[in-house]
Amino acid sequence: PLVGTGEIVGAAAAARHGCGAFNAIQLEHITAIIDGAAAAEAPVIVQLSQNAVKYHGSLAPVGTAALAAARAATTPVAVHLDHAESADLVREAVALGFGSVMFDASKLDYTDNVRATREVAAYCHDHGVWVEAELGEVGGKDGVHAPGARTDPDEAAEFVASTGIDALAVAVGSSHAMLTRDAALDFELIARLREKVPVPLVLHGSSGVPDAGLAEAVRAGMTKINIATQLNKVFTAAAAEDWRAHPERVDPRKYLGAGRAAVAVEVRRLLGVLKLD
Ligand code: G3H
Ligand code: ZN
């Protein structure tokens, strides 16, 4: 069934487990993520980023598909809008039935980030929607890796109090779109953030982090673990292998299906890592 992101994240935080939030680009990702979660018998968050929406030209076709797939799922599935820099897109997602959004004003300076985020959070809460925001920009969204950024724990606590958000994305050493899995996280900083910040913490750029680092991050206090690039790597490798093995085939379902199956296996595996078992 379709559930709220807050339910999944809240339960994971209470149990001190991690929960997986996986980015989908197209329908094959959506169904693979849900299949992987069903195999793991775990709840899952399917997220669509503003960049994925841009790729499709609009939110509704892919967003409606994600919501329909979640409603039909046998395990709890939440549908989340990821990295929205546009308040208009947030309103569109809320109207469509998304249970949560991440509003990303992390490129702005502190005061402007607070002002913009507080406004979006108030709108979302009026509509019963859970809100994540970011403080201390996690690099790599523009193709430039900037793992140097760090979120200050005192500023993070003040940011949460001033904006009323439900979860906070923090910069602790990861970076978006890393193809290698060797990023070193600052676990001591995660523990200090956990102590000071009263809402669940979100790790972005998790594909660059090795499995042991993900588990350690959860132990140190991270809850929502965002994973995108790793699934794309797995999808593309499996689709390419299938396509190379059968270059005479013209039906995209063959190689897309191979990609989808591989992503489901990887989601199941990663959910096992985050559950700390
Ligand atoms: O919001 C999405 C995540 O931060 C994904 O980052 O592509 O490095 O896994 P990633
Ligand atoms: Zn991110």
Q: What is the ipTM of this complex?
A: 0.99
CA–CA distance, 112 with 56 (Å, rounded to integer): 29
Find, among 96, 29, 30, the residue nearest to 58 by Cα: 96
CATH number of residue 97's parent domain: 3.20.20.70
Q: Which residues are annotated as a binding site?
A: 83, 104, 134, 176, 204
Alpha-carbon span 120 to 101, nearest angstrom: 10
**Per-residue pLDDT tens listing for the chain (277 residues):** 999 999 999 999 999 999 999 999 999 999 999 999 999 999 999 999 999 999 999 999 999 999 999 999 999 999 999 999 999 999 999 999 999 999 999 999 999 999 999 999 999 999 999 999 999 878 777 665 566 789 999 999 999 999 999 999 999 999 999 999 999 999 999 999 999 999 999 999 999 999 999 999 999 999 999 999 999 999 999 999 999 999 999 999 999 999 999 999 999 999 999 999 6
- Catalytic member of 82, 152, 166, 186: 82
Quick: pLDDT tens for 98-128.
Answer: 999 999 999 999 999 999 999 999 999 999 9
Closest CA to 161 of 100, 107, 114: 114
How many angstroms does the Cα of residue 250 sit away from the middle of ligand 2?
34
The pLDDT of residue 68 is 98
Q: How far apart are CA 151 and CA 146, in angstroms?
A: 13
Nearest ligand by distance to the CA of 134? 2
**Is residue 224 a contact partner of residue 200, using CB atoms and an 8 Å limit?**
yes
The position carrying tokens 């991690």 is 18
* Rounded Cα gap, residues 101 and 86, in angstroms: 11
Instruction: Report the b/e string of 194-216 with b at 16+ CB within 10 A.
Output: beebebbbbbbbbbbbeeebbbb
Q: What is the pLDDT of residue 145?
A: 57
CA-232 nearest atom, ligand 1? 7
Which residues form the domain of 71? 5-274
Q: Nearest CA to 118 among 105, 128, 109?
A: 105
| Total of domains in the chain | 1
d(CA 210, CA 190): 16
> Is 142 tagged catalytic?
no
Which residues lie with the beta carbon below 6 Å from any ligand 1 atom?
Answer: 23, 82-83, 176-178, 204-208, 226-230
pLDDT (0 to 100) of residue 92: 98
Residue 209 gets which letter from DSSP? S
How far is Cα of residue 201 from the mean position of the Cα atoms in its chain?
Answer: 12
d(CA 256, CA 260): 6
| 155-193 burial code (b ≥16 CB/10 A, e <16) | ebbbbbebbebbbbbbbbbbbbbbeebebebbbebbebb
Alpha carbon distance 120, 53 (integer Å)? 19
Choose one of 83, 134, 227 to mutate for the ligand 1 pocket test, by most ligand atoms within 8 angstroms of C-beta: 227
> In the prediction, which pLDDT does 277 show?
67
Among protein residues, the one whose CA lies closest to atom 2 of ligand 1: 226
